A and B are shown apart, each in its own frame.
Chain A
Amino acid sequence: MSEPTPHDPESSLERVEAAIRRLDLARPLLWGRSIEEVLEPLGAVLDQWRDPRSRWRRELLHQHPEAAGFSRETVEAGLKLGLKEWSASALRELVERELGPLQGRPATRLVPFARTSVLLAGSIPNPTLLQCLLPLLVRSPTLVRPGSRDPVTARLVAASIAALDPELGRCIEVVDCPSTEAPAMQRFLASDCVVVSGSDETIEEVRRSVRPGQRLVAYGHKLSIAVLGPEATRSDDLGELADALSLDVALWDQLGCLSPVSIFVIDPEPRPAASRVAEALFEALSRREAEMPRGRVDAEVAAAIARGRSEADMRAAGGQPVEVHASMGTRFSVIREAGGQWRESPLHRFVRVHGLPDLLSLSEALLPLGRHLSAVALAGFEESADPDQAAFGSVARLLSELGASRICRPGRMQCPPLGWHHDGRPLLLPIARIADRESG
């Protein structure tokens, strides 16, 4: 595993070159193994990461909050919830689900890419952990570039693999490679397979850099929402529901693509219903803040939050039925909006609550999201044994049709199953090649 060194163009390129040479040397070790022989140690690595007492979790908890700007309590809670079900058996289930159908078909072979480059983004450790493991699982030597806001996790993941299985540890390299250093980035992106996470602009830049024939797997920026039906907002359990939603909002300070930025309240009387939700959520966020403080924000973010609040105040002053619930400072904000119109979200625990009279209005409100919708926390619609006939099932189906790739309960947004079809796609098949041999 390489160590971070100061950035200068020449050494960045040299660092990438050196890492690639080491991966080229290690490739036969990986290709000499079966998937089962890779799955076993990677599953063990994952189990170590699940264990809060493991040295990796402790080390991450020590380094990550300062590096990424989260409070220690947020990182601790986010890891605990997010990794709870990410076990060796979950990893095996994923392999069996995606690669199982290929087993027993001698004419079909899964062929690993000679090298996979993984360009990470964001500051949340859980997806980084998985993105480091997946190419190895399909036996591709893996070159990882950490996101600038999390220089810690990928290195610890690589170290944890090396500690448990030194041979496998030689098959993953983590390199710093600033995007401004074109030669180093070009070299980094020259792998057979490139996995990139980031903004649409980043993805477009990477797309321009890869050659035809290279495999590009891109995960663009997304946003998530919650949808609450009448049963949720009119019941005595609203406090409990708001508490669950406050966890979804507060974890990772809303910086993940699974963090809800808006809550849609569907009710024949949308305004009072949305007001009830906004008030309950504000109370819940206040309690969360005491146990899991928001991390640090820079002046630009603080200004965006202050501006978001002032603009809402001004809309209210202009006669729109808008309510602003704001903490001291900029720590959390809940805006009860007048309708379903999308507005800028500064994130960092800034939520908008929209009251809408029916599902048709919801469809209209969500239309602008298009391909950007990720997860939806759904509650408050009638359930029955036949999910497709019940209100819950039909709302879930509608949301899937509108682009959601994950529907879950409030409070569960930040703990996707390991095998969740990220952006609605398989996880392993896109990063491997399948070769068919025809008989005769």
Chain B
Amino acid sequence: VSADPARAGLDARLLDWMRKKTWRRDDARFEALALELFAFQYAHCAAYRRFCDGRGRTPASVRAWTEIPAVPTGAFKEVVLTSFPPERAVHVFRTSGTTTRTRGSLHLDTLDLYEASLLPTFRRHLLPEHAPGERVRFVVVAPSPEEAPDSSLSHMFGVLLGAIGSARSGYDVIGGELGAESLIEQVEACRLTGEPIALLGTAFAFVHLLEHLEAGGSKLACPPGSRLMETGGFKGRAREMPRKELYDWLSNRLGVPQTRIVNQYGMTELGSQFYDSVLVDPEGPRRKLGPPWARVRFIDPETGADVKEGEVGMVVIHDLANTGSVAALETADLGRRVLDEGGRPIGFEVLGRDPDAEARGCSIAADAMLAGLR
């Protein structure tokens, strides 16, 4: 927990929630913790306080968690947003910085909440049928945390491997290079023994693997019970691919059914992650689910108010695991709530940009131009 006594109690109560064996939506608990955390962050993060003042929202005026001002994720590229003295930072995660010159950074004075949040959320959505203590063979298509110490994703994989990975788990991006042949050998070995694996990595790394397999005309056959988790987009990369196309390809070349391919929706600036529902609820529609200490809103950019249930809006995430920075984040994504037949919310979906969409005008957006110049 934080060394700051003013926050330590809050951290402890959140850790207690995160360590519960069963999850339960608890509106009162979320509301109370969110308001308390807002008051703390307002008091301890000067930039956030000025931002909130500019919107006329203070702990004295805010009555509900939905009124707490959300900071745009882009702000993490401009301002160090911490609710503790920066010199107390024990770890800094940085964004990949593919589309702008500066990289966003999340400074942490403790990794306790970060790790306490990620483990149960991952297990619940990726390994729902696994017994507690059961270990999994992870094949990670990403660098290790030692190789990429400022990558929150590599850190997460490191935590997973340490906590629930089998001895033969490992990383297949070494020295910045995809070890495709080693990965193929591992999958082949598992095919022979029938040991299921969990493939984890970025969408872009999987595309590299698929291209390698395609170039060699080979297909893998992951053993039954295997699963795959991909994350991250293609923004700023040379090649973009619709998710449907990627999943067809992954399924075809790796032998993992689409119903066992899970997208993780997360970002460096967040302490918690969201996952596709396919393994938890194989019969229901694919949608994103997350832990009870993180909530999502969809905002009308014209008014700043919540859109109607099921309508498209800007994705705003309120993640109580972000005690050391700012809990309410306005993402760069659009999304909408997924409703069941009775109109009740059962998760959400993030809408990707249409890759075939023609540019809006002949004037070029400065970010696109700068990306092109690099």
Contact = CB atoms under 8 A, between A and B. Distances in A.
Interface in B52-93: 54-55, 71-72, 74-75, 78-79
A222 B362 contact: yes
Contact of A122 (B47, B362, B365): B362
B177 interface: no
B75 to A, nearest CB: 4
A417 to B, nearest CB: 18
B102 to A, nearest CB: 10
A301 B330 CA distance: 15
Given A316-B54, A372-B369, A307 B362 contact: no
Contacts of A179: 356
B359 interface: yes
A303 B373 contact: no
Nearest to A369: B369
B334 A299 contact: yes
A172 B63 CA distance: 65
B363 A347 contact: yes
A221 B54 contact: no
A252 B362 CA distance: 11
A207 interface: no
A153 interface: no
B314 interface: yes
A80 B120 CA distance: 63
A372 B367 CA distance: 12
Tell me what chain B mostly uses at the interface: helix, strand, loop, or mixed. Answer: mixed
Interface stretch (A132-140, A194-202, A239-247, A404-412): A194-202
Interface in A64-120: none
Interface string B274-307: 0000000000000000000000000101111000
B332 interface: yes
B301 A303 contact: yes
Contacts of B332: 303, 307
A344 B367 contact: yes
Nearest to B48: A317
A200 B356 CA distance: 14
Interface in A172-227: 179-180, 197-200, 219, 221-224
B359 A315 contact: no
A148 B362 contact: no
Contacts of A200: 372
A318 B364 contact: no
Nearest to B353: A300
A405 to B, nearest CB: 14
Given A197-B362, A259-B363, A316-B54, A180 B330 contact: no
Contacts of A43: none
A70 to B, nearest CB: 11
A345 B372 CA distance: 15
Given A256-B361, A314-B78, A344 B303 contact: no
| A306, A368, A370: residue with the most chain B Cβ atoms closer than 10 Å | A306
A329 interface: yes
A345 B365 contact: yes
B358 interface: yes
Contact of A252 (B75, B79, B361, B369): B361
B369 A313 contact: no
Contacts of B366: 223, 261, 342-345
Contact of B363 (A224, A300, A320, A368): A224
B265 interface: no
A226 to B, nearest CB: 14
Given A303-B301, A307-B330, A307-B332, A314 B361 contact: no
A16 B74 CA distance: 45
Given A314-B79, A317-B54, A223 B363 contact: yes
A395 interface: no
A169 interface: no
A72 B13 CA distance: 58
A311 B301 contact: no
Nearest to B314: A303
A199 B359 contact: yes
A370 B373 contact: yes
Q: Is the interface on chain A under 10, 10 to 19, 20 to 34, or 35 or more residues? A: 35 or more
Given A147-B358, A317-B54, A307 B363 contact: no
B65 to A, nearest CB: 18
B208 interface: no
Given A199-B364, A223-B369, A311 B50 contact: no
A154 interface: no
A346 interface: yes
A311 B74 contact: yes
B227 to A, nearest CB: 32
A346 B78 contact: no
A306 B314 CA distance: 9
B336 to A, nearest CB: 10
B201 interface: no
Interface string A271-308: 00000000000000000000000000001111101110
B370 interface: yes
B317 to A, nearest CB: 14
A329 B353 CA distance: 23
A149 interface: yes
Contact of B50 (A198, A317, A343, A369): A317
Contacts of A303: 301, 314, 332, 334
B17 interface: no
B299 to A, nearest CB: 8
A291 to B, nearest CB: 21
B51 interface: yes
B369 A330 contact: no
A157 interface: no
A124 interface: yes
A329 B304 CA distance: 9
Contacts of B72: 307, 310-311, 314
Contact of B47 (A148, A223, A317, A347): A317
A200 B364 CA distance: 10
B21 interface: no
Contacts of A368: 369-370, 373
Contacts of B353: 300
Contact of A344 (B304, B312, B365): B365
Interface string A318-330: 1110000000011
In the complex, the 8 A-B pairs of residues with the closest C-beta atoms, listed nearest first = A255-B361, A318-B79, A221-B364, A314-B75, A306-B301, A317-B50, A317-B51, A344-B367
Given A127-B362, A348-B360, 5 more contacts: A257-B363, A261-B363, A311-B72, A317-B47, A329-B302
6 contacts: A147-B358, A299-B301, A306-B299, A317-B51, A347-B365, A348-B360
Interface of B: 47-51, 54-55, 71-72, 74-75, 78-79, 100, 299, 301-304, 312-314, 330, 332, 334, 353, 356, 358-370, 372-373
